[in-house]
Amino acid sequence: MNEFLRHLPKVELHLHIEGSLEPELMFALAARNGIALPYATVEEAKAAYDFEDLQGFLNLYYQGMNVLRTEQDFYDLAMDYFQRAREEGVLHIDMHFDPQAHLQRGIPLEVVMAGLLRAKEEAESSLDLTVGMIMAFLRDRHAEEALHVLEQAAPYWKFLDAIGLDSAELGNPPAKFQQLFARAKELGLVRVAHAGEEGPAEYIAEALDLLDVQRIDHGVRCLESADVVKRLRDHQTVLTVCPLSNVSLKVVDQLRDHPLPQLLSEGLKVTISSDDPAYFGGGLLENHIACAQAFGWEADTFRLLNRNAIEEAFVSDDRRQELL
Ligand code: HPA
Ligand code: ZN
């Protein structure tokens, strides 16, 4: 099964590129930029990745990305993940990135975009890996700031496939960003949002109603509302479920308790992704292998999940035909 999963052409719709920063690269970039880390060794960093909840993870996620300073750093970060993903049989990645997390540290948007776009170009020309760009906004910061950053990103709108919404969910409902998402829609940008990870099923309904999103990132708590499940099923709205992330952040106790099998049996359009692979114990292949072990799924289930992802991926029609 593991060999089948490695060779299965895989598509990942939910990946935070800053969450792909492996401790080894974090140490290399810290040395290159003369930055002190709170860890003495790679092992010490890995040992710290033991989270109580989403906020516990976010604290280390924002701290880790402090080593990213130059265009080359962003390029190296993305290429490091793209190369690893390609070796695991991944052919397309829709990549979230968090400009506000860099702007607030004094890193200009131009630096972030130049590095990430150069890596995307390089992956597409030399790795046979296509990359979608999702500019994500931090929901625990002010809505006005998000709007300002979206306007500031005008030179890059043409490179974006979508905007997203991430960071601390509880207490930061989709309604807070109605204006931002309306503006993105006016600009012709697709919208996606994290909802129903730690937050309740109502946040999923709100993201659909008020933000007019095309995808729900995570969405596992939809099962708490029969109405929300029905809406997601009727519209075949894709859910980008991240199994190892949900275990790491204690959304579920263990993978065997994960609602993935139920989401599938409800007829929902489920896909699987790694979210933040450097922090949650592995990339897309590891997530596939863990699901095979926990749920005893056969090849057909994994083919279905990846077909769902291919149908929803931000790719050209030609590329979609190639992937199908
Ligand atoms: N949830 C919310 N925000 C995030 C995540 C996540 O899993 N990863 C990076 N930002
Ligand atoms: Zn996420």
The reply to whether ipTM tops 0.90 is yes
Q: For residues 18, 23, 26 and 30, what is the CA-based torsion angle, rounded to 10 degrees? A: 150
Structure tokens at 21: 């920063």
CA dist 299 and 241 (Å) reads: 18
Fold (topology level) of 2-323: TIM Barrel (3.20.20)
Q: Write the pLDDT tens digit of every residue in 14-60.
A: 999 999 999 999 999 999 999 999 999 999 999 999 999 999 999 99
- Averaged pLDDT, 146-157: 98
Ligand 1 pocket mutation pick from 49, 97, 100, 167 by most atoms within 8 angstroms of CB: 167
202-214 pLDDT tens trace: 999 999 999 999 9
Using 50, 70 and 90 to split pLDDT, how confident is the model at 259? very high
**What is this structure's pTM?**
0.98
Contacts of 198 (CB under 8 A, 6+ apart): 53, 54, 169, 170, 249, 251
Q: Which residues line ligand 1 (CB under 6 A)?
A: 16, 19, 54, 61, 166-167, 194, 197, 245, 275-276
pLDDT value of residue 79: 98
Residues whose CB falls within 8 Å of the CB of residue 66, separated by 6 or more in sequence, listed in order: 35, 105
Tokens of 287: 């997530």
pLDDT digits (tens, 9 = 90+) for 286-313: 999 999 999 999 999 999 999 999 999 9
Please pick, among 71, 197, 198, 206, the residue that the annotation labels catalytic: 197
CA of 56 to the centre of ligand 2 (A): 14
The reported pLDDT for the residue numbered 136 is 99
Q: Tens of pLDDT along 51-108?
A: 999 999 999 999 999 999 999 999 999 999 999 999 999 999 999 999 999 999 999 9
The helix (run of H) or strand (run of E) holding residue 55 is helix 54-64
Is 197 in a helix, a strand, or coil?
A: coil
What's the mean per-residue pLDDT of the chain? 98
- What are the sequence ranges of the domains in the chain? 2-323
Whether residue 324 contacts residue 307, with contact meaning beta carbons closer than 8 Å, is answered with: yes
Between the CA of residue 163 and those of 174, 227, 289, 300, what are the distances in Å?
13, 26, 30, 32
Q: Which of 13, 51, 61 to mutate to test the pocket of ligand 1 (most atoms within 8 A of CB)?
A: 61
